[in-house]
Chain A
């Protein structure tokens, strides 16, 4: 073994290299305050390992980015841990950068002859933040998509070259495949390569000038190994423990949430996302922009941050003045306090912003739903997971209903999305439409006049209402029992999933009810039921409330099979192309309670 090592040492000289690395002199001995640079190097190494591993499963395109991250997170063994480590190490790194900068400032390690190395450090700060910014977009979820859009839109306000610069960065006029390929190349290629080069230069210059020892020296000089290495290792261990705490925090604290990092719903350019925020370390810049009205945005977004960065870069020279060092410390202190205050203001504002809070809640629901759909037997289609949500009645139905139907109708007293509309209800409440309970209400003299049925329409005084008030109200008990069979029969026409068991159980009642419906109750005097009737004036009862019936009804309520010319004000949604066929299908399926549910 020794022979082999000697052979290798003769050729590459690793013993000298190790000696140089390990036996650097630390004036005054090892100290905890010197650990920050090492923790950052460690984080960077961890990011390279986890990043390259993620790279092996990540696919940068607008149809596969979210999907591959979902696959890493939910399907691949250990994927949640890998992604969690990468994500939270990036966060911890931001904090460590600030701590490192503070230590360098306080100890005066930025002053001559270390100016260039200070600038290298500032450049590294920018590069790490750049990797954070580019990495935020890569999962291609709603949060990253909309927050990064804000950042890239800011580049467009740079004078003269802004719009061209923006186009180059996002790879076109709109976000798409090339935005991801570019951000990924920056995130995993360009920025890490430049960072690596600068770290090497940073450490080399640091070694050249030696450590800036904190005076007074408390102990004898000592070499880097083993005392300082030991303290650095303990600090790195604390860093890793912090990262692991965040990765596991939901299960450690018992709060609801996934292991590792959350993954929002896939990016959808047509889907508003009011919860878009940059990650916490950019919140102060986000907040700052709120104070610059109109065309003055450039001051908050570019001029002031550039000036501040300029002052920091000049600190080695400012520090030469008599009070320069104190000014520098004061400036940095004010800057950090200011950023802290802005961050606090941003968080506080959001906590009192109902739009934001609703959007966050809604985002969680949608994110959970899309993962449910992605795990369904049908899997994720080639056009991407966003199609799962666009074709999901549970996701789209309420939105279509609140936009198109809730102007008159209600759904359980609400607009379908959980809000109570501020207009007056002027048409029926469609929650449970065509169910036995709903039909029992329609045929109840006490309820038919309520706004949940005919109350607010012209049909309040129509034939059906008169029939209920005059005939049904006078039914003796035995006919009331038959009415229940009629209701069961009519409701069975809808083939509602929620009533499948009841429909099967009550098959004999339903058969009887169909008979009563035609003869004893004379529904077919006005309605058409299971036979062509040219004289029918009221809505078709064959397949009443079924998918086909409902779609046809929404498409054209003024069709002869439904209200015909007596249609009051319901728009012909399909006929007049107010809604697309697909939208009508979605709202019909949602009203009928038909959507994918995972097996329990």
Chain B
């Protein structure tokens, strides 16, 4: 123990200051190396893009009645999940409508409010989200002003190829915003 009994004297003056400064600096560098490596890996997803590709065949005109009602179809495509690559697996679902005049309409089944799958309720002839009761008309528009969804159902590009095949350009969009922004 210190002979005087109290706290021993702290190194002062320029030498003491340099030591304090260097100890702090080295400490900061040492903390930065593992934390920096960890943070880089943690932020790796920001560098990656969605594996969603172009249009994919979803069904045929034969499989889609021209009754103007929405019919739900799974979308199969190649999906890269970190190290795995899956071919022809469900990556989402769409509602397809075929109108009497032959026009086609496609919606992503995901509610733009918070991302639940919306149901089509035959009795009311409209879409209802089971999570927060967002409602949409059969055309996909917001049904009433109290609907929590900030925008209409997300429409998707759809076209008929080779006379019969129905191709949809499937995309997911960011939930919760009034603007329709594709998920990168």
Contacts and interface: CB of A to CB of B under 8 A. Distances in A.
A294 to B, nearest CB: 44
Contact of A78 (B10, B16, B44, B85): B44
A311 interface: no
A57 B85 contact: no
A220 interface: yes
B84 A226 contact: no
Nearest to B2: A221
A54 to B, nearest CB: 8
A83 to B, nearest CB: 9
B19 interface: yes
Interface string A462-497: 000000000000000000000000000000000000
Interface in A222-247: 222-223, 225-227, 229-230, 233-234, 236-237, 240, 244
A230 B93 CA distance: 61
Interface stretch (B26-34, B58-66, B105-113, B161-169): B26-34
Contact of A380 (B2, B34, B47, B83): B83
A240 B30 contact: yes
B26 A49 contact: no
A78 B40 contact: yes
A168 interface: no
Nearest to B3: A221
A382 B8 contact: no
Contacts of B122: none
Contacts of B80: 379
A233 B23 contact: yes
B1 interface: yes
Interface in B55-96: 80, 82-86
A57 B41 contact: yes
A451 interface: no
Contacts of B8: 25, 220-223
Interface string A353-396: 00000000000000000000010001111100100000000000
B25 to A, nearest CB: 8
Interface stretch (A69-77, A143-151, A397-405, A500-508): A69-77
A274 interface: no
Given A50-B37, A76-B44, A233 B1 contact: no
Contacts of B132: none
Given A85-B37, A222-B11, A240-B33, A234 B26 contact: yes
A240 B36 CA distance: 14
Given A27-B1, A220-B8, A226-B20, A49 B83 contact: no
B27 A226 contact: no
A223 to B, nearest CB: 5
Contacts of A574: none
Contacts of B44: 57, 76-79
Contacts of A378: 85
B7 interface: yes
Q: Is the interface of B mostly helix, strand, loop or mixed?
A: helix
A147 to B, nearest CB: 24
A374 B83 contact: yes
A68 interface: yes
A323 interface: no
B22 interface: yes
A82 B20 contact: no
A433 interface: no
A56 interface: yes
A46 interface: yes
A236 B30 contact: yes
Contacts of B40: 77-78, 81-82
A50 B34 contact: yes
Contact of B82 (A42, A45, A71): A71
A335 interface: no
Contacts of A229: 23
A230 B23 contact: yes
A53 interface: yes
Which size bracket describes the interface of B in this complex?
35 or more
Contact of A233 (B16, B22, B38, B83): B22
Nearest to B45: A76
Nearest to A229: B23
A589 interface: no
A199 to B, nearest CB: 17
Given A78-B44, A221-B1, A380-B83, A227 B11 contact: yes
A540 interface: no
A534 B159 CA distance: 55
Q: Which of B9, B19, B47 has the most CB of A within 10 A?
A: B19
Given A53-B41, A77-B47, A221-B8, A230 B83 contact: no
A106 B11 CA distance: 29
Interface string A18-29: 000001010100
Contacts of B100: none
A426 B1 CA distance: 89
Contact of A227 (B19, B36, B43, B47): B19
Interface in A516-533: none
Contacts of B29: 237
Contact of A82 (B9, B26, B38, B83): B38
A385 B40 CA distance: 26
Contacts of A70: 83
Nearest to A22: B10
A70 B84 CA distance: 11
A220 B9 CA distance: 9
Interface string A197-233: 0000000000000000000000011110111011001
Given A53-B38, A53-B41, A225-B10, A379 B84 contact: yes
A233 B27 contact: yes
Contacts of B16: 226
A67 interface: yes
B33 A244 contact: yes
Please name the 3 residue pairs, one residue from A and one from B, whose CB atoms are nearest each other, closest first. Answer: A379-B85, A53-B38, A78-B40
Given A42-B30, A49-B38, A222-B9, 4 more contacts: A54-B41, A78-B41, A82-B37, A225-B23
Interface of A: 23, 25, 27, 42, 45-46, 49-50, 52-54, 56-57, 64, 67-68, 70-72, 75-79, 81-82, 85, 89, 220-223, 225-227, 229-230, 233-234, 236-237, 240, 244, 374, 378-382, 385
